[in-house]
Amino acid sequence: MRYGFVIDHRRCIGCHACTVACKEENRVPLGAFRTWVKYVEKGAFPDTRRYFSVLRCNHCDEAPCVTICPTVALYRRPDGIVDFDGGRCIGCKSCMQACPYDALYIDPTTNTAAKCHYCAHRIEVGLEPACVIVCPEQAIIAGDLDDPRTPIARLVAREQVEVRKPEQGTRPKVYYVGAESSALSPTMQRAAPSFLFGQRPAAERDLIQMVADVQAQERGGDGATSRTVYDAPHAPRPWGWRVSTYLWTKSIAAGALMMAALTLPLERAGGMAADASLLRLTAPALALLFLAITTGLLVLDLKRPDRFLYVLFRSNPRSWLVRGSWILMADGGVAALWLLAGISGHGGLQATLVLPALLLGAATAGYSAFLFGQAEGRDFWQSPLLLPHLLVAALLAGGAALIAVGALLAGRADVVTGFDPPLIGCLVLHGVLLFSELGVTHANLDVARAAALITRGPYRGVFWGGVVAAGLVLPFVLLMAADVAGLSPLRVLAAVFALAGLWLWEDLWVRAGQSIPLS
């Protein structure tokens, strides 16, 4: 048994009865929608035509929201309905990033996620979903897709149907008959910041205008075949500065211990000019401090921070949010042992911890690549270069933080000189990976537009001035000057600028990935 929907756009009149019935049946709050109707128009006056598209959760057979949810608040029932348990939700908003169809929202009354659940409470007592029974044209057909006797199964078998974003591989179970293709694909639409008889929220309006400006710059036209004339409001950028900063603090935590583990054997052999306490005490203390800050940022970003322990005790082991939590705890344990060994003077124990510190540091830095990979709704975050970029960024951030903090604690700038070659190498690799992610041929138009927002859109000033000039070129020049002329204060200045540039990049990367509309 697999319940699904067919939306027959040969019948739909765009009356919004399904939206109203859904809101009333499920007590959907003002400003949120589980099913909504979008209007697009094609042509030029007087030869124009309006098309409707009824949008909602697709109850995918391979639902990415179920995979990424860390607490099994989202789950696929045996009858194919993707249902939701609000009592387990921690409000992490990862499901909103994973869904390619923009079907989830945060309920302002409960601070938990919500979406269409196929009116499961009605299905269980033999009734049809509210949107089905209220439709005046019978344009919404619900039923078991696996039963060839049902009207929906016969309709899917008989008619030419299409689904939204089949390339995502989610196997959606909302089929459209007679729909205008451009009405189902935001890539083919020219979005409008405002409507004749409706208004977008201010934050969303600014976002739409940014994307429209980038579309206008595209060679050969923007590829739009229709224009949006009415839509429901959508939450702009569910993840904000806390997630950007979490990536940055996690890089420092992972990189500080990794750099200590890489250079400790050299320091013991006398092949590196460094204060011993920097590698034995400062590095693990810095790792523990920034791991604590990372954890705090993750908890504060939850809409239900009171439930943060659900990640450990009601966990979904397939979610990289859960796996990442385990990795962070393990890395914290190694850092604590490293610090205790340094305090007690057990150099042999620290030597034993070198390999675990390297492996867990790399895992701490790199697991976010798999987490953002599970956020399948955001194509910009699916780059295969993300994992190596995170590892390089961690080494750069860890080395820079050790230089800056070491100089501050020691009261002199020459506390370490052996980090210059690896930091210069990391800066070069960071630049190569940066421009490879943004400049190579992109997987699709959404990725290209997200990259364009950074390189030639509204984010270009911060990118070229902050990320590239101040965070990449300047630290490189300062490190080279410090190495050649022996001016140690320049090394500290380079470390500070490198750290600032990394944070700016993480912030731009997170924001740009969420700037492309999903529906």
The string of DSSP codes covering 462-488 is IIIIIIIIIIIIHHHHHHHHHHHH--H
In tens, the pLDDT along 279-295 reads 888 999 999 999 999 99
275: confidence class by pLDDT, cuts 50, 70, 90: low
* Average pLDDT in the chain: 91
Q: Tell me: pLDDT of 196 over 70.
A: yes
413: confidence class by pLDDT, cuts 50, 70, 90: low
Q: Judge whether 235 lies within some domain.
A: no
In tens, the pLDDT along 322-373 reads 999 999 999 999 999 999 999 988 878 888 999 999 999 999 999 999 999 9
Are both 259 and 197 inside the same structural domain? no
Listed in sequence order, the DSSP H helices in 195-346 are 202-217, 241-268, 276-277, 283-300, 310-313, 320-344
Strand partners, 3: 144
Q: Judge whether 519 lies within some domain.
A: no
pLDDT of residue 194: 80
Q: Tell me: pLDDT of 95 over 60.
A: yes
CATH code at 457? Answer: 1.20.1630.10
Mean pLDDT of 416-424: 79
Question: How many CB atoms are located within 10 Å of the residue 305 CB?
Answer: 14
Question: ∠ at Cα 309 (308, 312), nearest 5°?
Answer: 120
Number of structural domains (the chain) is 2
- The rounded distance, in Å, linking the Cα atoms of 450 and 515 is 7
> For 395, what's the count of Cα atoms within 13 Å in the CB-facing half-sphere?
24
- 110 in Cβ contact with 86 (< 8 Å): yes
- 137 in Cβ contact with 11 (< 8 Å): yes
pLDDT of residue 44: 84
- 250 in Cβ contact with 217 (< 8 Å): no
pLDDT of residue 159: 94
35: confidence class by pLDDT, cuts 50, 70, 90: very high
Q: Judge whether 441 lies within some domain.
A: yes
pLDDT of residue 200: 81
Alpha-carbon distances, residue 416 vs 191, 303, 404, 405, 412 (angstroms): 53, 42, 10, 11, 10
Paired sense of beta strands 161-162 and 140-144, if any: unpaired
User: pLDDT exceeding 90 applies to what percent of the chain?
Assistant: 74
CATH code at 39? Answer: 3.30.70.20
In tens, the pLDDT along 198-248 reads 778 887 888 888 888 888 888 766 667 888 999 988 888 999 999 999 999
Are both 284 and 146 inside the same structural domain? no
Mean pLDDT of 43-59: 92
> Which residue has tokens 């194919």?
80
Give the end-to-end CA distance of the chain in Å, rounded to a whole number: 28
Are both 105 and 254 inside the same structural domain? no
pLDDT of residue 280: 87
Last residue of a domain, one of 230, 253, 272: 230
Q: Judge whether 389 lies within some domain.
A: yes
Question: ∠ at Cα 302 (299, 305), nearest 5°?
Answer: 65
Mean pLDDT of 417-423: 80
pLDDT of residue 214: 86
Q: Tell me: pLDDT of 126 over 70.
A: yes
Q: Judge whether 508 lies within some domain.
A: yes
Alpha-carbon distances, residue 409 vs 36, 183, 305, 519 (angstroms): 58, 60, 35, 51
Are both 253 and 214 inside the same structural domain? no
- 186 in Cβ contact with 226 (< 8 Å): no
Mean pLDDT of 259-286: 75
Are both 192 and 307 inside the same structural domain? no
Strand partners, 40: 51, 228
Are both 36 and 131 inside the same structural domain? yes
> Which residue has tokens 């529906």?
519
pLDDT of residue 205: 82
pLDDT of residue 361: 96
Question: In terms of residue numbers, what domain contains 193?
Answer: 3-230
Are both 224 and 106 inside the same structural domain? yes
pLDDT of residue 31: 87
The set of long-range contacts for 210-215, using a CB threshold of 8 Å and a minimum separation of 24, is: 210/453, 210/457, 210/458, 210/515, 211/449, 211/453, 211/515, 211/516, 211/517, 213/457, 213/458, 214/449, 214/452, 214/453, 214/456, 214/457, 215/190, 215/449
Last residue of a domain, one of 230, 261, 279: 230
Q: List the structure tokens of 313.
A: 């005790």
Are both 318 and 185 inside the same structural domain? no
Are both 25 and 98 inside the same structural domain? yes
Are both 294 and 226 inside the same structural domain? no
Q: Judge whether 518 lies within some domain.
A: no
* This prediction's pTM: 0.93
Q: Is 370 exposed, middle or buried (0-12, 13-18, 19+ CB in 10 A)?
A: middle
104: confidence class by pLDDT, cuts 50, 70, 90: very high
In tens, the pLDDT along 443-473 reads 899 999 999 999 999 999 999 999 999 999 9
**Which residues, other chains included, contact 2 with Cβ-Cβ below 8 Å and sequence gap of 6+?**
61, 79, 80, 144, 145, 146, 173
Q: Tell me: pLDDT of 270 over 60.
A: no
Question: How many CB atoms are located within 10 Å of the residue 134 CB?
Answer: 18
Are both 505 and 370 inside the same structural domain? yes
Last residue of a domain, one of 184, 211, 230: 230
Question: At 489, is the secondary structure helix, strand, or coil?
Answer: helix
User: pLDDT exceeding 70 applies to what percent of the chain?
Assistant: 95
Strand partners, 143: 4
Question: How many CB atoms are located within 10 Å of the residue 219 CB?
Answer: 5
Q: Judge whether 498 lies within some domain.
A: yes
Q: Judge whether 423 lies within some domain.
A: yes
Mean pLDDT of 58-80: 97
Listed in sequence order, the DSSP H helices in 345-465 are 347-352, 354-374, 386-410, 420-439, 445-455, 460-461
Are both 294 and 439 inside the same structural domain? yes
